[in-house]
Each structure stands twice: as structure tokens, then as C-alpha cells.
Structure 1
Amino acid sequence: MNDSPRRRELTRLAAQLFVQEGFDRTTVRMLAQEMGIKSGSLFHHFRDKQEILCAVIEEGTQNALAIAREALEACAPTPEARLHAMARAHLETLLTDRNAHVVALYEWRRLDAESRAHLSHLRDAYEALWQEVVGDALEAGLIHGDKFLVSRFVLGALNWTVRWYDPEGSRTPEELARELIAMITPPSH
């Protein structure tokens, strides 16, 4: 399938509709109407609704992975700086690509087996970055616990912010990331 700017725009519109209506309640007719095209024209860009869902999650996960990698490259090489960079990057992803992130969180289970297999490497790569950063923080004694559980706990806390965080509110993503890391690390003496 093509990777045109139009297809990417249609993918973003689909993400918005999936967030508003849910994947199951979203019809092809609704998608076409939201996209400003005829239902038949939708199939010029996508085979079916399942492919649209896969494209939304793929684009969102690729963006999250790119933002995380850039954040790690730009930060100091200390475990604390890397942990903070990952938390901030995750929050940035939520703010810049919120709909795709919400769809990935809540509609992953709607993917068919082929789509899940296709996307698993991206999800695994993102989680591996977290495992690496958390592993380094554990090794340095910055945090304590099981690497898998700490990674899941932190990602869960960050993912839940899509439900309550207000970008127009009093805390910036930077401050929120700093607070989260402060909660899981012992105070400096």
C-alpha cells in the first residue's frame, strides 16, 4: 500500500474517530465522511478497516520510538538523565500524537493476528528501550525492584496520563516527568 501524505492524513483522521467512537463502533462510512471522501475511495488507500487500525498504531508507535531514541541521544549518559528523558519523551508522544497513542493503548486487542504480528516488533523495540533504561537505573542503585515490573509500572503510570493530564494545565511535560522520576527514586542526600 502507498505511504502518501494523503494516506498519513487519513490515518490521523481515523485515529481521531477511533478515539471518539471506538474501533468497533466506527464504520467505513463514518471514516469516509470524516475524511471527506466517498466510501469507495477509502479503499484506494486501505484494504479495509483493519488495515486502517494497523496504520494508526504503526504510525503512532514509530513516532514514539523515534522521539524516545532522539531523547536518549540528546541527554546526558547518566541513568537518571536517561530515565528522565524516556519519561519526558513518552509524555511528549502523548501530547504530539495523543490519538494514535490512545488507539494503540485501547484498541490493540482489536488487531487481527496478522496485524499484531506485523506491529509486535515496534512495540517490543519500544519496550526494550524502557527495559534498558530501567536496567541501567537498577544497576546504578537509582531505583529498586524487578526490571520488568518497574518498567511496566512506569509505563502504566505514564500511559494513564492520557486520561487526566491537561496540556493547558499548570504542569509541563518536563515537570510531570521530573515528578514521576522523583516518585520512584530515593531522595538525594
Structure 2
Amino acid sequence: MTLVNASSRRKELIRIAARLFVVEGFDRTTVRMMAKDMGIKSGSLFHHFRDKQEILCAVIEEGMHNALALANHALSEAHDTPRGRLDAMVRAHLETLLTDRNAHVVALYEWRRLDDESRSHLVHLRDAYEALWKEVIEDASEAGLVYGDPLSARRFVLGALNWTVRWYDPEGPRSPESLAQELVTMITHSPASPA
């Protein structure tokens, strides 16, 4: 069950579905609503997807692939220090929220709507992303940058970052970079490193 493919039309349909799932919620979004917004007939949707559950899985899968790609790229470009890697992960997570907001929101709020098959298909992506965070937070903890239990720290940081989808305005006066630096400063009790 690999849902991500290179079809530009399929990717467009996934983006439209993600927006509808955010606005209406998964349960209230109908196939007819999706088809209307996609500019196709309801039956045509099934040329691309087996059912609504597969669409939900595809939305989350695409968002998770993008998040992993951004995180891996950020880490490859980061200063090779615990602080540099933590800065990179925070910035990458915020970038994911800003560039792929709908897919991220769907993953956060509709994960529980996945059936067992879809959840089993996606869990390795979630685990791979969390493994990156685990390593970065544990390194920061060992370096004395983060205090307390690393698991709690990781959950706190991800929770704080994920909540920004509710209140952060990318068009407002605060840049994503300054927001990332402020968060890292709060959790490490140390001033931001030079960019």
C-alpha cells in the first residue's frame, strides 16, 4: 500500500482534500464535496483513490514524507553541535507547518480516523520522524542544554510547535526564524546561536 506517487493531478487532489478535511473535518467531508472542489464527478474520484479512507491516508502520508525530507535536509545543513541540530529541527518543523499546513493539521487532528490498515502503513513514517527528534533532544540533554526527562522534553517541544498552527500568523510581524530561535532559547535557557 504505497499511496504517494508522482502524478501531479493526484497531488493536486490530495491538497484539495487536505484543505477540506481541515475546514470541514474528516467525518463531515463527503466524496461529493471533494469531487465538486476538485472539479470532477464523484465517480471520477475513484479513478485516483479506492475510498475516502485512502484519501485521508494519502494526505497524511504526503505530509509526513515532506516533514521527513525537510528535517533530514535541515540536519544535513546544521552546525554539527547539539544546539545547531536542535535549532535545525525546530526551524524544519515550523517550515513544515508553514509550507504544508493542511496536511500537518490533518495528521494532528484526524490520525484517530485512520483505519488499522492505514495506520499500520503510516506508523513507520511517524516513527522515523520521532526518531530524529529523539536523537536531537537526547543529544541536547546530554550536552546540558535541555533539562529533565528527554521524553517529556520531546513531547513538550513537539506539542508547542504543533500548537503554532492555531495561533501563528506567517503574515504577521514575527518571522518563522525568530519564532524558532525564541522557542529554542526558552527550552534551553541559552541565547540563540548565530545563523
Q: Aligned residues, how many?
A: 188
Matched residue, 2:73: 70
Distance (Å, rounded) in 2 between the aligned partners of 1:58 and 1:68: 15
Distance (Å, rounded) in 2 between the aligned partners of 1:33 and 1:50: 18
The aligned runs of 1:92-111 (5 Å cut-off) are 92-111=95-114
Q: Deviations over 1:59-78 (max 9, x none)?
A: 00100010000000001101
Give the structure-1-normalised TM-score.
0.97
Distance (Å, rounded) in 1 between the aligned partners of 2:120 and 2:46: 23
Task: Specify the SS of the correspondent of 1:148.
Answer: helix
1:2 CA drift (Å): 7.7
Instruction: Give the alignment partner of residue 36 of structure 1, picking from 34, 39, 42.
Output: 39
Contact kept? 2:83, 2:145, Cα under 8 Å: yes
CA spacing shift, 1:179–1:107, aligned 2, 3 Å: same
Paired letter, 1:126? Y
Give the structure-2-normalised TM-score.
0.94
Matched residue, 1:23: 26
Q: Does 2:143 align with 1:140?
A: yes
Contact kept? 1:2, 1:45, Cα under 8 Å: no
The aligned runs of 1:27-176 (5 Å cut-off) are 27-176=30-179
| Percent identity over paired residues | 74
Task: Specify the SS of the correspondent of 1:31.
Answer: helix
Paired letter, 2:145? L
Paired letter, 2:88? A
Paired letter, 1:148? L
Contact kept? 1:50, 1:112, Cα under 8 Å: yes
Distance (Å, rounded) in 2 between the aligned partners of 1:84 and 1:2: 29
Contact kept? 1:83, 1:134, Cα under 8 Å: yes
Distance (Å, rounded) in 2 between the aligned partners of 1:187 and 1:50: 45
Distance (Å, rounded) in 2 between the aligned partners of 1:167 and 1:181: 18
Root-mean-square deviation over aligned CA pairs = 1.0
CA spacing shift, 1:2–1:142, aligned 2, 3 Å: closer
Matched residue, 1:181: 184
